[in-house]
Amino acid sequence: MSRVVSGIRPTGKLHLGNYFGAVNSFLKMQEEHECFFFIADIHSLTTHPAPSDLHSNVKQVLAEHLAMGVDPEKCALFIQSDVPAIAELYTYMNMNAYLGELERSTSFKEKIRSQKDNVNAGLLTYPVLMAVDILAHHADFVPVGKDQQQHLEMTRTFANRFNHMYGNTYFNEPKAYSNTGKLIKVPGLTAQGKMSKSSGDADTIVFDEEDQVIRKKIMRAVTDNGPTEPGMPKSEGLQNLFDIMNLVSDKSTIAHFEDLHQTAQIRYGDLKKQIAEDVLKFVAPIREKINHYKNDSKALAIAAKIGAEKANESANKTLQEVRGIIGFKNFYK
């Protein structure tokens, strides 16, 4: 069975885009592959979170994944820092990464622009840690968006460089996970592209928000002045709303509002109210489960422990084999 590795930084609560863009795919993957899904708390240290915030964010993401159907019995759902071998492998792989290629990384260039007062070494070597996350478990496939393609290429570069340096074929070259279904890109509410926390709070529909907050965000979503004649094309903001409706509403509701738009009779207030109601129907049961898990410390502990055991078994094997390849040998037993 092929292996899949994917991680998410615990930088905030999951939104509708996270669910349809990633987590929903995890549910299919865990049935078809040997999966390692991790909460990347070590990666998040590049932004220097307060210790209490770091722990609460990890707890939030763990609860959300469980609530959305990621099953610890079917995959390895773990917290990155629970696997010490990752940090040691990161040290070794850094010896095979060169300053020039790291400085040319698109993510590094973007980070030094966005956080000029915190350009730390972790930002520079971010692709190395990401590579180790993947190579530690000998992943065959990695689900990546366009913004992560370069990191996957660098992972292959580091793997091949290690193999060449030590004259072996130990690491395989992981490939991008090919989703045979239609890739779902959930648009944001502010017409700035896909739904993203980086576009501001008003852009996202977060599962763990109160009903009135979600309603208010949708009612304030960016649109235009409306069609002035039948058959007019949709503006970007309006198309975004219809794209969200296609994810949460039934076919008859979608057809009704499509017809109103085509005949130039659509009222955006009615459209937004309908979308808000359908979003809340979709979000409510998942939010209830999130709150359940957040208040069930035992369930969280069991899930984290099961995931850590699976991940440690895999990563520790890789670590010991890498140490042997490099030439580390103990003088004692």
DSSP letters of 27-55?
A: HHHHHHSEEEEEE-TTGGGGG---HHHHH
Cα–Cα nearest to 279, from 240, 235, 246:
246
Q: Per the residue annotation, which of 111, 217, 294, 310 is the catalytic one?
A: 111
Q: Per the residue annotation, which of 197, 234, 273, 289 is the catalytic one?
A: 197
111 has catalytic annotation: yes
Contact 181, 29 (CB under 8 A): no
Q: How far apart are CA 81 and CA 238, in angstroms?
A: 42
Helix (H) or strand (E) holding 62: helix 51-67
74 has catalytic annotation: no
Interhelix angle 268-294/251-262, rounded to 10 degrees, is: 150
**The pair of three-digit structure tokens given for residue 137, joined into one six-digit string:** 């478990």
Q: Per the residue annotation, which of 74, 194, 234, 317 is the catalytic one?
A: 194
194 has catalytic annotation: yes
**Which residues are catalytic, by number?**
111, 194, 197
